[in-house]
Amino acid sequence: MTDRARLEQIMLARHPCVAIATVEEEHVLTLLREIAVEAQRDMLEWTITDGLREGLLAQARSVPDTEPPAGALYHLTNNVNGPVICAMLDLAGHLKDERVLRTLRETIDHFGRTGAILVLIHAAGELPPAIGAVTTVFDLSFPDKAELDSILRETVRKLSLERQIQISLSRTGLSTIVRNLQGLTRQQAVRVIIDAVCDDGRLDESDVNGILAGKRRALGNAGMLQFVESPVDLNEIGGLEKLKTWVLMRRAALEKDEAQQFGLPVPRGVLMLGVQGGGKSLAAKAVATALQLPLLRMDVGSLYDAYIGQSERRLRDAFKQAELMSPVVLWIDEIEKAFASASSSSADGGLSRRLFGALLTWMQERTAPVFLIATANDIESLPPELLRKGRFDEIFFVDLPTLEARTQIAAIHLKKRGRQPEKFDLASIAEASAGFSGAEIEQAVISALFAAYGRGSELTTEDVLAALRSSPPLSVTMAERVAELRAWATSRCVPAD
């Protein structure tokens, strides 16, 4: 049901007062004006600067002495006797005044008898209990794909009247941009589109990243959720071929409505077990890159709070924020550290169990396109309820990179630092880096660069080999733990590479 249909339903039910907390007051006023015209109702609008005035006339005069909130409410109580729609902007901030509060209660009682409706529109702030008890809270919906598509086209059309805009966008590119605008308000979407287009005077596939960057700026601080930069291209990530293929096969189910009509469920997420430092973080970035979605990391370290009820509220708020930003990839790193105590008796008063229960409920009931990635180093410490089929689409094991993957990784990091990979003996580097993680290979390249710079010569294959020989990998220093983990994952997980 659309926002307009829901508002019409509320009015038919003769609710005397509706509260809408939003920054999109002009959008709400437009909806109310459309409803008033179609239902042949009179409409009034109030602001503290203009007072009460006719809401359907562009040049309507203000009613004298109605700028003060109490004066406006007194006028409504004594002069409105029919099914009038009255929108009052930012009245919530004036309700600390006892006189305004008392007059508002009388106005709501009067409207309840006459069939009028009072719509309180404010950006933030809670209503006093006496008002909240007789008020219907209305949550304004975020624009859907169809509306965002319309906003995008209309914004670009207006920009093209002011300057030359080059448009080169496929249907898939358009769908990707519209999808990544979801979770923004209408005003935010317009601003993000303008910034992306005006940056280079073009609208094309390259603007997908600009849209995502603009979305991050528009949403600002996301509390427990942190934006993580992911590579633009999957070619920047070495190895993980099976994981890449698995994710790419499911991207269409997130992108296209036809996928659901075909009977495909929306992908829910993956659990990734891996050797510590073996590339699980890179795997999370690979998934976000493959899905062409922003990546959010949940900071589980800030989850626990000393005050009763605050930790649960923080977790609920984080999930709600992720849903508002959807479609998005949500990454819970080292999930066992946050919820391991839920599987045993602990001294936290049952907090871990409650948090774990909230996680399972959200995983089971969420409908927003939030793709969940959970990573773990010690999967045996996790509650078994998290591992059952249906919680995640698949459980992947991220092992140390294979010979082929190490070759790709070495080439990627050499190229990233301005070197031509074909001038190096990549086969020797890949052979010498057996047992090394991708991060350790990267650090070897960096260490070799320092050595070459120090002696004043160009980087060579021998420099990289020397760096690899000088530092044993984690798989050697923690050989027993790595072997144990691999043995556990052999028959329980799908290899990521």
What CATH number corresponds to the domain at position 463?
1.10.8.60
Q: Which of 88, 120, 137 is the last residue of a domain?
A: 137
In our burial notation (b when 16+ CB lie closer than 10 A, e otherwise), range 36-51 reads beeeebebbbbbbeeb
Q: Per the domain annotation, does 89 fall within a domain?
A: yes
How many domains is the chain partitioned into structurally? 4
Instruction: Give the list of residues 6+ apart from residue 422 with CB closer than 8 angstroms, or none.
Output: none
Query: d(Cα 140, Cα 184) in Å, to the nearest integer?
Result: 12
Same domain, 63 and 152: no
Mean pLDDT for back-to-back runs of 10 residues, the chain (497 residues): 91 94 91 94 94 87 93 94 94 92 96 95 85 91 88 91 86 84 86 87 82 73 70 72 85 72 83 77 83 81 58 78 80 77 55 79 84 82 74 86 89 91 92 88 92 92 92 79 78 82
* Edge-to-edge strands, sheet with 43-47: 51-54, 43-47, 85-89, 117-122, 17-21, 136-137
Query: d(Cα 165, Cα 159) in Å, to the nearest integer?
Result: 7
Supply the pLDDT for residue 183.
Answer: 77
Same domain, 328 and 427: no
Supply the pLDDT for residue 307.
Answer: 47
Instruction: Give the list of residues 6+ apart from residue 400 with CB closer than 8 angstroms, or none.
Output: 275, 278, 435, 436, 437, 475, 482
Say which amino acid occupies 317.
D
Q: Per the domain annotation, does 487 fall within a domain?
A: no
Q: Per the domain annotation, does 56 fall within a domain?
A: yes
Same domain, 453 and 352: no
Q: Which domain holds residue 49?
A: 3-137
Asked whether 297 and 225 are in contact (CB, 8 A), the reply is: yes
Same domain, 244 and 186: no
**Tokens for 442?**
């990267």
**Alpha-carbon dihedral angle through residues 207, 213, 214, 216, given to the nearest 10 degrees:** 150
Same domain, 371 and 389: yes
Supply the pLDDT for residue 306.
Answer: 46
Supply the pLDDT for residue 272.
Answer: 87
Same domain, 328 and 241: yes
Same domain, 123 and 268: no
Q: Per the domain annotation, does 482 fall within a domain?
A: no
Supply the pLDDT for residue 220.
Answer: 60
Same domain, 191 and 302: no
